[in-house]
Structure 1
């Protein structure tokens, strides 16, 4: 008997007390079922990689279209710039195209990876990037510049619009939910 008048618990099979909680070996814990990415998400991820390719194409165009950029600069300033200033504007335009092209490729690939893994924040970020690309397209369309470059921008924005639709489909929303649910 204990000092409080209650008998001690009977010993267990190994001489321990039945009142103890069994310890679970973490290596025997049930594994969470992997979340399967739905077809809409597979298509969105693939199209994001296509978007990266379009950004790369835009980058290459900025390298090969220096003459078209020069003509656009000369046409837009009505002869008020010197030849040196035109050269500087063409160089700045080309460098800007390269930088934005590289950033665009990186962002498309980053969004493809994060959305493909079901990161719910990535869908929001992709939506914000899409809104920014629409604003960028509007500013590109009102400026002088090579037609092919404008066409690539239009195609990229249309591609982005379709991707956003895919990201917000019911099956995609369920995928984001399942991917962000705590694992047992």
Structure 2
């Protein structure tokens, strides 16, 4: 019996690594529990013959959803218009703040009045920009078919109606245009809510969620 001559391509004193085949052990996960199915990450969905499946296209928005998204963008525009208009009525706002403070304390100092006026202006700016942002955000996420966004939009619509009731209750001190913009915003929220919960809109949300789960 003769010995098999060593392979000249292998370094002296070393053994060739095992051929990676079906019997090779899988690599360990980077941390315990990283891959629930074993040593390999979960595979992408595959179709016939093992070919990777492509992500299905997002479902097309039905007319009710397309209209709801447009109306939400209009709501954002109304918030910006209301904010811009509030800057033209700053003198009236300062008079209202002064009257309210002096009604509670006839000897209130001018520094307190100025501070309260500054806070009122800051709150008006913050709530105006926040309202516009929320309208745009809801238009974006509902347009993508996010079910949670429809629930959040429903909550916002309820808060919007409460704000409208408060504005109407204090209509004696509110500016006419501000009152009109508030009423339009409240009506817009109700119409958007009806559109979001229509049957074809619900089917769109269901199809969009299913499309995201497949990938």
TM bucket (normalised to shorter chain) is 0.7 to 0.9
Determine which structure has more spread, i.e. the larger CA radius of gyration: 2
- 2:182 corresponds to which residue? 153
For residue 51 of structure 2, what is the aligned residue in structure 1?
25
1:40 and 2:67 correspond: no
TM-score, normalised relative to structure 2: 0.67
3-state SS of paired residue (1:35) = coil
| Residue 61 of structure 1, CA deviation | 1.8
Q: Provide the aligned C-alpha RMSD in A.
A: 2.2
In the alignment, which residue of structure 1 is the partner of 2:80? 56
CA contact (8 A) 2:101 2:113 kept: no
CA gap of 1:73–1:146, structure 2 versus 1, over 3 A, is farther
On the 8 A contact 1:69/1:145 being kept in 2, the answer is no
Looking at structure 1, the residues matched to 102 and 118 of structure 2 have their Cα atoms a distance apart, in angstroms, of 19
- Counterpart of 2:50 in 1: which secondary structure? coil
1:183 aligns with 2:214: yes
Higher-helix-fraction structure: 1
Give the 4+ runs in structure 1 shifted more than 6 A: none
Structure 1 length-normalised TM: 0.77
Kindly tell me the number of residue pairs found equivalent between the two proteins: 161
The equivalences for 1:1-184 within 5 A come to 24-26=50-52, 29=53, 31-76=55-100, 80=106, 81-143=108-170, 144-181=173-210, 182-183=213-214
Whether contact under 8 Å (2:69, 2:140) holds in the other structure is: yes
**1:72/1:146 contact within 8 Å kept:** no
Gaps of 5+ in 2: 1-47
